[in-house]
Structure 1
């Protein structure tokens, strides 16, 4: 659930920022840049326009929640900012009024839960005495002594003035960042270029002209947030990271349509086949069920259609990305299927039962979760005695995840033995030696030039800590099983009966997850089928006669 906007209920207004900010395009350009920051930084959970400050950046980090209060300064003076200008108070009835200086107004924003940071963005530069505020926070350790001297200059400034959270102006100075953007045009050009770069990282190459169109839409989005009336709709003042990623995904979709020939191999709109059946989400115990229905058509279970659909995914499962790159649109390209079939025959450890289940899992991960697979992972065994798995990168609003997946086709006689053995395999997946081997295989198999950029680059580096890799791993398990309901044939209420069947199957499955898996997210996918042996035979025949 996104955090509530930082709006002071005692000072809320019904006019919002509308009348006071008409023409504040400079501020909208700055807010758009912060929006683009959020797309690439999973620690930023939300940005707000015209709430506690001109712009507020909400962050969640290991150190706790952070609110960064940004003031945008566009005064027309041509002299540089100085300490004396920052601490200048308004004069009221021949007395200087407390709380009216720019420093005090900025510090006064610190009245909400969370640690405070402060930022000024101005069109005017700063004098030498303030220059160190322009050094990014993460680079200040190298100038610590000099920066401490700058902070001391503020120690005696209005020493009695503190924020509602009892922080003083020295605290403000230590957490202050100053950025200088001289003109609207320079900010716009910088942001348009960032859009081009972000899109390129996602495999969606577009023209500069179209990037300007996307940027115009972004300006409208942040402008709408700023113009929203806080009293009427406080949530409209904020844009969450999940909302930003959804918006960005739509823009990427349009770019890919316009420039399909330049898309990276796993970025395309796939066709839906499975119907969503039933879902149970249990975040408290890190377990989730997702079930899917092959469905009936004119009273017949769609087994033949299932085989036809799954074979479209075979090239992705079997062939490297560099091969797919030469035949983009490969899920529609039958020319690749024979090559994929012949390549698959080299791997005896993947029998037809397992291949069928893995194809179902792959199709669901790719279409329903928009994953990117690690090419050929199913057929790359570091340890010959280990059970084959597939691997997918999944994008979440909280950060990318690595899903190490297993899929099985079961009959009534094999269900319990398979479930029991697979949970032991999943336990091994969390050991240090296994993680090292898995990371090395992913590094070897992954072809970044054909995939979108991921924020897992650091944890996938061979010199990274394996403990960090463990934090982003999820363990999906797909079980396709002989269904009593499907086996009984079509009836008008079969979906309700099937929902009850998968719910009971999930509850029966959960106790098999051993205690060692308690700290890792396990996603269970259940696919009810009509006849496991018959559908495997159909797959085998189809592969042989292609």
Structure 2
């Protein structure tokens, strides 16, 4: 008997090919924020849930299959036998199932509105003849010949079939993309490449070898194989879906497990262990319920009834490299020696000590944003000459979001030693409003100019920074922050136990006053956070920080 690869072996290869296609698409999802989920064996072989549409994908592994207009429109045969006799010898023949061809099945997956339905075919064998037109990406087909000929041919073969959702052959042709990958190995290589790219761009780790990428690839294939094997009768669609949020969370942890000792010289902000200087004590919301204002109370505890000035000052030292060094200096790829790099840091530190209050406020706000949101800072203030400096460039951060686009957080700080806090807050608020009106376009332009993406994880804030578009087109993706440190009589030396409820009342009153102009200022739709930092004694804090900095300079 002749030995062949037909039957079970071929079927198993087909399943493997399909699972690898699903896994490759999942790795595409690591870098593409518009992809929200990959589903397996729910509607079609594989479905991709995009931000604005759903894509239904048929996977065809058979390498010997010839894809022509005839093969994709031929209806399937059933196991039942027709009573009609064939012309050749009167033998019974199998029944044809109406509207069961590859084209029919694909079109039937569409739902209303059909404009949000797209199709893809992934096969091991390339299509021939008129079907070659489908290999061109739909967005690149303008002016390409062959569309009408293909539509006419398929209409003739399908008797002008129109699916239940009222989508016709023309819609299917315009919405279908045909990709060809000859083997599982080719698909695996694409998936592993995506994993390596995502490790650097999403996590900030440059994988030292393919071993980790291959292990992660196998895990993704295994996960999707398990999901595809789940019965649709027993399990719901959610069980058979791999969501981007879940994939990203798992992927980050896996990368760090595989590369515990890895350090990248370029993604400098990704792997720093972020120890906050202050802790978050309370959150205040406006009494009117607006989501565009938020009050946060930052705090540092007492230790044996003594305020932790030393902890704050020592923690500040750990953050000064991010404040005073440019990305390429932190990465140390500019060729400067370690001693020269230290001298650069030292000279900037000494210059900053002449304006210690401004410097400390900048460090505290920087630490708050970085440690709470694992943000990517853009050290914009280092690039701005003093005469041209604008306030909104003091603290600039990219804050990642799983969906809806990353946010740009910009803010400034002030340590206040006076007694009229309400007046101080009103002045700071006015400064922010003025900066937004007068300087936001110049600030956006400058951020776009100086932002060095080679040192940042993947992000999508460029569209926020293009000054050809008005600032408020993406208003919901900006967050402005005012950080105010002030003396509070409730924080005493030594500690007076039980001050927290009164501190809550004090900070709530300050925040309510700050947000009282929501309906009258014209800035009600601008997202603004107020970070309040009550301190027992601002002068004592500055003195302790100065001592720590002088010790570091010695």
TM-score range, shorter chain: 0.7 to 0.9
Deviations 1:242-294 (CA, angstroms, capped at 9, x unpaired): 22322232234346533225452212132433434334679963344444432
Query: 1 CA distance for matches of 2:170 and 2:303?
Result: 71
User: In the alignment, which of 196, 209, 213 is matched to residue 215 of structure 2?
Assistant: 213
Query: 1 CA distance for matches of 2:551 and 2:305?
Result: 27
User: In the alignment, which of 325, 333, 353 is matched to residue 357 of structure 2?
Assistant: 353
Query: 1 CA distance for matches of 2:267 and 2:193?
Result: 20
Structure 2 partner of 1:511? 516
**2:350 is equivalent to residue 363 of structure 1:** no
* Matching of residues 99-178 of structure 1 within 5 Å: 99-111=99-111, 115-143=116-144, 145-158=145-158, 161-178=161-178
Query: How many Å apart are 1:454 and its aligned residue?
Result: 2.7
**Contact 2:124-2:181 within 8 A present in 1 as well:** yes
Query: How many Å apart are 1:337 and its aligned residue?
Result: 7.4
The 3 A distance-change label for structure 1 pair 162 and 464 is same
**2:442 is equivalent to residue 437 of structure 1:** yes
The 3 A distance-change label for structure 1 pair 232 and 190 is closer
The 3 A distance-change label for structure 1 pair 160 and 485 is farther
**2:31 is equivalent to residue 48 of structure 1:** no
Query: 2 CA distance for matches of 1:80 and 1:211?
Result: 34
User: In the alignment, which of 263, 284, 294 is matched to residue 300 of structure 2?
Assistant: 294
* Matching of residues 252-331 of structure 1 within 5 Å: 252-254=255-257, 257-260=260-263, 262=265, 264-273=267-276, 274-279=278-283, 285-326=291-332
The 3 A distance-change label for structure 1 pair 172 and 302 is same
User: In the alignment, which of 48, 53, 58 is matched to residue 71 of structure 1?
Assistant: 58
Deviations 1:29-49 (CA, angstroms, capped at 9, x unpaired): 212222222222222222222
Query: How many Å apart are 1:127 and its aligned residue?
Result: 0.7
Give secondary structure in 1 for the equivalent of 2:254: helix
Query: 2 CA distance for matches of 1:356 and 1:337?
Result: 20
User: In the alignment, which of 534, 539, 548 is matched to residue 533 of structure 1?
Assistant: 539
Larger Rg: 2
Query: How many Å apart are 1:322 and its aligned residue?
Result: 1.6
The 3 A distance-change label for structure 1 pair 346 and 463 is farther
**Contact 1:68-1:118 within 8 A present in 2 as well:** yes
Structure 2 partner of 1:6? none
More deviation in 228-237 or 365-374? 228-237
**Contact 2:480-2:529 within 8 A present in 1 as well:** yes
More deviation in 287-296 or 34-43? 287-296
Query: How many Å apart are 1:116 and its aligned residue?
Result: 0.4
Give secondary structure in 1 for the equivalent of 2:48: strand
Query: How many Å apart are 1:176 and its aligned residue?
Result: 0.6
The 3 A distance-change label for structure 1 pair 22 and 155 is closer
The 3 A distance-change label for structure 1 pair 315 and 170 is same
Structure 2 partner of 1:83? 69
Query: 1 CA distance for matches of 2:172 and 2:432?
Result: 49
Structure 1 partner of 2:452? 447
Structure 2, unpaired ranges of 5+: 1-10, 83-94
Structure 1 partner of 2:86? none
Structure 2 partner of 1:189? 189
Query: 2 CA distance for matches of 1:36 and 1:90?
Result: 33
Deviations 1:480-502 (CA, angstroms, capped at 9, x unpaired): 34345434865776556655654
Structure 1 partner of 2:550? 544
Query: 1 CA distance for matches of 2:501 and 2:228?
Result: 46
Give secondary structure in 1 for the equivalent of 2:178: strand
Structure 1 partner of 2:180? 180
The 3 A distance-change label for structure 1 pair 436 and 507 is closer
Query: 1 CA distance for matches of 2:482 and 2:164?
Result: 50
Query: How many Å apart are 1:458 and its aligned residue?
Result: 5.7
**2:235 is equivalent to residue 246 of structure 1:** no
Query: How many Å apart are 1:185 and its aligned residue?
Result: 0.8
Structure 1, unpaired ranges of 5+: 1-19
Query: How many Å apart are 1:233 and its aligned residue?
Result: 4.9
More deviation in 413-422 or 132-141? 413-422
Query: How many Å apart are 1:186 and its aligned residue?
Result: 0.8
Query: How many Å apart are 1:179 and its aligned residue?
Result: 0.9
* Matching of residues 11-26 of structure 1 within 5 Å: 24-26=15-17
What TM-score do the two structures reach when normalised by structure 2? 0.81
More deviation in 30-39 or 521-530? 521-530
More deviation in 171-180 or 157-166? 157-166
More deviation in 120-129 or 276-285? 276-285
Query: How many Å apart are 1:21 and its aligned residue?
Result: 8.6
The 3 A distance-change label for structure 1 pair 485 and 251 is farther
The size of the alignment, in residue pairs, is: 515
